[in-house]
Amino acid sequence: MGQTDIDQIIDAIYDAASGEGSWHEFGDRLSLFAKAQKVSLNLRRPDGGYDNISLLEDEAWGDYAAYYHKIDPFRGSIARGQLAAEGVGQFGSDIVPDEEFLKGEYYADFAARFGHRHSITARFGQGDAAMIGILRNEAAGEFSQNELQQVQRVLPHIKRGLRLYQSLQPELEPQLYQEALDASPLAIFLVDGTLQVRFANVAAIQLATEAPEMMRMTRQGTMAIDGLRLDLRDRVEATRLRGLVGSVLSGGAGGSMQLRTWAEDEGASCQVAMLVSPVPSRLAARPGGDGPAGRANGIAMLIARKLVMQQAPKESMLIDIFHLSPGEAAVGVALLGGASAEQVAQRRGVSADTVRRQIRLLLEKSGARNLRDFERIIATLAVMSGPAR
């Protein structure tokens, strides 16, 4: 099991995400790599059912979808908090102990019948929104710690590939490539390591035009042929973005971030959620062209989506309700939308320690357990207060 094998599996993920390949091909490659009999990648549908995108339908999946998913102890372990964080692989026996697994109805009536004895399992998204099981029968034996570590190198790319698949697949049709990206309502940039823009769809250009105080595309030289670069006005966010793009160019799976809010109109504010991902080669091909399989080299994909939210209550309301000082109220409003203490300190021209002290006080006075709880309280107040007048 070498790096070449892992690279081929990762390339198969991005081929499947873009529609150039299939999740079945990915499942077959990962099964061979892990010496497993089956790879089961399940996605939960909006109606509560499940689709297995890595397997052709067979008797086992039909039985599972009809009944056995309801008593699957691995799904049940999610409710008990026994599954690790998103994208972390675990041995099946660490999630459901063997003495429990072997004595249950699920194993006796289903898993034993189809040879599902040993597994490596991971989840993606909230709860059981997406789960992968790499399955071996009794004869194949248990997975080793080294095999778990090898699989772990693939899991971040599965997570990113699923995000791309679910974000882009409705807009993609075979052979449309970048024309399909132009039609997407999501803002999509393809950038290199210096954030030079190799491609920006219509929605991306519009987003950069609407919020020049947050992001913009600037020309790198004085000539018309000079390229455009994506600039974030907040230095902390710009550093974070360059780091995520750099991780993609180094073979990593990228990540996500949020850009600070800006006023869209008198009654609402906006925030931008941004996903940084490898680029399936199909999507980087020139219009009418056909790129190689796998990931494109030297560029990363940025998918941005504007989130419109009700305008937060004014600082005066926070002062009246929670008896905050003007400084604490200002910090509370500035923190909304996911800003860090360091970012708020930079914008306000004070030290990070000062902001952290103010955060402790505003949490204490508002009764919030943490900043996420504080945002929930503020969101409720925003709805109650209505648009600013």
Angle at which helices 341-348 and 326-335 pack, to 10 degrees? 120
Task: Note the pLDDT tens digit of each residue in 195-213.
Answer: 999 888 888 998 888 877 7
- What pLDDT shows up at residue 147? 94
pLDDT along the chain (389 residues), means of 10: 83 85 92 93 79 80 85 82 81 92 93 92 83 94 95 93 75 48 79 90 88 80 64 88 94 84 55 85 63 80 74 73 86 77 86 90 84 70 45
What pLDDT is recorded for position 348? 86
Q: What is the b/e burial string over 312-339, where b = at least 16 CB atoms within 10 angstroms of the residue's CB?
A: bbebebbbeebebeebbbbbbbbbbbbb
* Strand 197-200 versus strand 228-232 pairing type: unpaired
Confidence at residue 137, expressed as pLDDT on a 0 to 100 scale:
94
- Confidence at residue 273, expressed as pLDDT on a 0 to 100 scale: 80
* Those residues with Cβ within 8 angstroms of residue 194's Cβ, 6 or more apart along the chain or in another chain: 229
pLDDT at 76: 82
**pLDDT value at position 248?**
93
Per-residue confidence (pLDDT) for residue 173, from 0 to 100: 44
Torsion on CA atoms 189, 192, 195, 196, rounded to nearest 10: -80
| Residue indicated by tokens 């899991």 | 155
Q: How confident is the model at residue 31, as a pLDDT?
A: 94
Which pLDDT score is estimated for 85? Answer: 80
pTM: 0.66
Cα radius of gyration (the chain): 24
**For position 30, what pLDDT does the model report?**
95
pLDDT score recorded for residue 1: 54
- Per the CB < 8 A criterion, the answer to whether 201 and 181 are in contact is yes
Provide the residue type at 205 as one letter. I
**Helix 352-366 / helix 341-348 crossing angle, nearest 10 deg:** 110
CA-CA distance, 29 to 337, in Å (whole number)?
Answer: 40
Q: What per-residue string of b and e applies to 12-36 under the rule 16 or more CB within 10 Å gives b? A: bbbbbbbbbbebbebbbbbbebbeb
